[in-house]
Each structure stands twice: as C-alpha cells, then as structure tokens.
Chains A and B, each alone.
Chain A
Amino acid sequence: MNSLIIEGSPKTPNINFDGDEGSFLISGRSIPENSLDFYKPIIEWLDTYISEPKESTIVNIRLEYFNTSSSKCLLDVFKKLEVIFKRGQKVGINWYYEADDEDMLEAGEDYQSIIKIPFTMIEEEE
C-alpha cells in the first residue's frame, strides 16, 4: 500500500499516512476555506486502505488549530477507520493537545463522544 504524504501550508495540515505501517499523522493547522477539497483525496486514499488494512492502525492527531469546516472532514476520516475497527481490527487515535489548551482537549472529547475507536488524550508541554 502506498503512503499518502501531503506537505502542510499555512492553512492546511501535514498529512503522512504510512499504509505499510498503518501509522497515520495529521499535524499543523487545518483552516482552509474549503476543507472538502483538501480532504477529498485523503478520504479516497482511506477507502483503498480500509479494503485491505493493516492488523493495527494508529492515528496521531497533532493539530494546532482547525476550523469548523475541517472538523466535519476529520470526523469523516475517523468514520472511515471506524469501519475497520467495527470489523475487529485494532485501531487507536492519539489526540495530542498542548497543556492549557482546553479547547483542543474538548475537541478531542467531542470526537470521542461520537466515534467508537478508543482515543488516548496526550497532553504535551507548550
């Protein structure tokens, strides 16, 4: 399985999805005006991945900011992975937030309340 790598910009995140390792990273900022355009290839890549996933898939989310337009797209990413989790594959989401950034912690908890995949909230020093 190929990897998906998209370099970040001032408004879009770094994407590093390693299909061979089942290790996915979204980091930086996700504040584009039209998130649907940005996330479309990511969702398409995931469609292929979930047809033949690794035994274990770990998603690391290290976002500094994301806008509400991106929040729905992130949910779509998690929903794709929830499909393989429900099939019995091991999937985990590590949600990183800076110490004192309660908004980012709460954002992770929002997803945790909707998605069945286990979340690990990881506080990092600023």
Chain B
Amino acid sequence: MNFDLNQWYSEKIDEDAIFDYMGRIEDEDVTDILQSIEQILKDRNEPPKLFKKVFNVLVELVQNLHHHGEVPSDLDVSYEKFGVLILRDEGNQYRICAGNFIKIDGLRLIRDRIDQINTLSSTETQSLYRIILGNDQFSEKGGGGLGMVDIARKSGNNMEYQFFQYNPNFLFLAIDVII
C-alpha cells in the first residue's frame, strides 16, 4: 500500500506538536516559518542556549526542504518546492520532524550520508565539519554539504529517518532531530 501523506501528517500532529506546516517552501515561506517558530520559542522563554540550538537546526532543516523538496506530479499543486515541518515539545526534549519527497535514485546517497554521520563521535563530527568547510567545494545550492553535519553537531544526537514509498518514482523522507 502506498504512503498516505495526509494520514502520516495528521498522526504527527498531537498535543506535543507546537508548530506544524505542510506545503510550499519558497523563499517567503521559509521566512514566515522561521519567524513563526522564533516567536513560539520566545514566548516559551527557553534559555538562550537551547533557543539558539533549536533555531539553528530549524534553519538548516527548513532550508534543506527549500533546496531539496521535490513535488511529485500527482501531488497536484502549482508550486515546485514542497515540505513538511513539525516542532514537538516532548517534555524533556524538542523533536523537529522535517519531511520531503525525493526521487528514488537519490535514496542511497541520502541514506548513506545520514548513516555515516550517525556513526561519528562528537569529535569526529567536528573534524568532518572542518574538512568540508575548508575543502573549497560548493554544492550548486551553495551549502557545500555542511548542513547535515551541522545539524548532527548542534543537536548532539543521531538523526532518525524513515523512507516511505510514495509512487514508482518518489519516496517520502522523514528526518527527526532531537534537541
């Protein structure tokens, strides 16, 4: 049975969800999402250290959606960047869930990347970050492949991920980051 995005989304939106968004991720949407979440975190009076960590990771995740969020044709929308973002307060931790469609041929690259980062200690993550930062390579999106490493480094936790088969050409990738 194929993945039902709306059902998956509605199951994620429970009483712990303090922000949720599903839809277009153009520049102005990224700005709106970040402003909304910043206000939510401000209202909760989180300590600056935690506030900054959560916000930093959110920036990377939302911009990942902006750069990589594909739109399968049967989604029937008029825009070209699609993503899902949910921020949950689970009492002793925040959980950020970011979801987007990817083409099936991109599966291995992303899965291997996350698996590799998840095996690293904090010192190794820092070293990898510095190697990528100093290597003079830019991706066409300008990020240079640092985003995932930065997320792992700032959160200090392994990224959890799931892939769901959406149709013959697309998968839905859901990444959870805990802070």
Contacts and interface: CB of A to CB of B under 8 A. Distances in A.
B39 to A, nearest CB: 12
Contacts of A113: 130
Contacts of A36: 138, 142
Given A31-B59, A69-B141, A72-B146, A106 B49 contact: no
B168 interface: no
Contact of A75 (B133, B150, B154): B133
Chain B's interface: helix, strand, loop or mixed, by majority? helix
Contacts of A106: 126
Given A10-B31, A110-B133, A114-B134, A101 B49 contact: yes
Grouping DSSP codes into helix (H, G, I), strand (E, B) and loop, the A interface class, with mixed when no group exceeds half, is: helix
Contact of B52 (A10, A65, A71, A75): A65
B116 to A, nearest CB: 17
Interface stretch (B4-12, B60-68, B100-108): B60-68
A68 B130 contact: no
B23 interface: no
Contacts, number: 74
B27 interface: yes
Given A65-B55, A69-B141, 5 more contacts: A10-B34, A68-B144, A73-B142, A110-B130, A113-B130
Contacts of A101: 48-49, 52
B82 to A, nearest CB: 15
A31 B129 CA distance: 18
B35 A110 contact: no
A71 B55 contact: no
Given A67-B60, A100-B48, A100-B49, A72 B141 contact: no
